[in-house]
């Protein structure tokens, strides 16, 4: 599958309509971004069932700001509309392959339960304050 260019106009739709989205926040002037691009493209070809997307942080500054992107490249993985990974830095091919495998194996019901528990703890802490 070809890499999808994300903008503020299509971001929500892309993430809500696809159960597994990898997002590369990058810029054309960023040398590590350009070095990571072929690794990312190769991973997209090896995983045609996943959506690989890119956000040009220069053209989409509002989107980059919304996700507090302060260093590029930053890779984010969204599964079932939950951001399960976000980390700056260009990954080598083996690390990206391993990361995709780990993300695939996550039990999203367990992830949602942990998020709900954290939110409940946060609300309890707020009530006590």
Q: How many Cβ atoms from other residues are within 10 Å of residue 85's Cβ?
A: 16
Query: Taking all residues of the chain, what is their mean pLDDT, rounded to a whole number?
Result: 92
Q: In what order do the strands lie in the sheet with 82-88?
A: 4-5, 51-56, 20-26, 74-79, 82-88
- The rounded distance, in Å, linking the Cα atoms of 61 and 66 is 9
Q: 43, 103, 31, 20: which is closest to 73 by C-alpha?
A: 31
Catalytic residue among 30, 55, 63, 69: 30
User: Which pairing describes strands 20-26 and 51-56: parallel, antiparallel, or unpaired?
Assistant: parallel
pTM: 0.89
Question: What per-residue confidence (pLDDT) applies to 124?
Answer: 62
pLDDT of residue 125: 58
Distance CA 40, CA 33 (A): 10
Does residue 7 register a pLDDT over 50?
A: yes
DSSP state of 121: H
Active-site entry in 6, 15, 22, 33: 33
Q: 129: pLDDT confidence band, cut at 50, 70 and 90? A: very low
Q: Using one digit for the tens of pLDDT, what is the confidence trace for 69-125?
A: 999 999 999 999 999 999 999 999 999 999 999 999 999 999 889 988 888 887 765
30 belongs to the catalytic site: yes
pLDDT number for residue 81: 92
The answer to whether residue 66 scores a pLDDT higher than 60 is yes
């Amino acid at each position: 599958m070809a890499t999808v260019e994300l903008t503020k106009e299509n971001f929500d739709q892309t993430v809500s309509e696809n159960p597994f989205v990898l997002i590369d926040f990058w810029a054309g002037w960023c040398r590590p971004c350009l070095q990571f691009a072929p690794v990312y493209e190769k991973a997209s070809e090896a995983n045609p069932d996943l959506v690989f997307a890119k956000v040009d942080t220069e053209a989409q500054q509002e989107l980059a700001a919304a996700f507090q992107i302060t260093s590029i490249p930053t890779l984010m993985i969204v599964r079932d509309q939950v951001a399960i990974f976000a980390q700056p830095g260009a990954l080598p091919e083996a690390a990206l392959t391993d990361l995709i495998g780990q993300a695939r194996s996550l039990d999203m019901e367990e992830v949602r339960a942990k998020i709900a528990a954290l939110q409940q703890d946060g609300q309890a802490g707020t009530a006590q304050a």
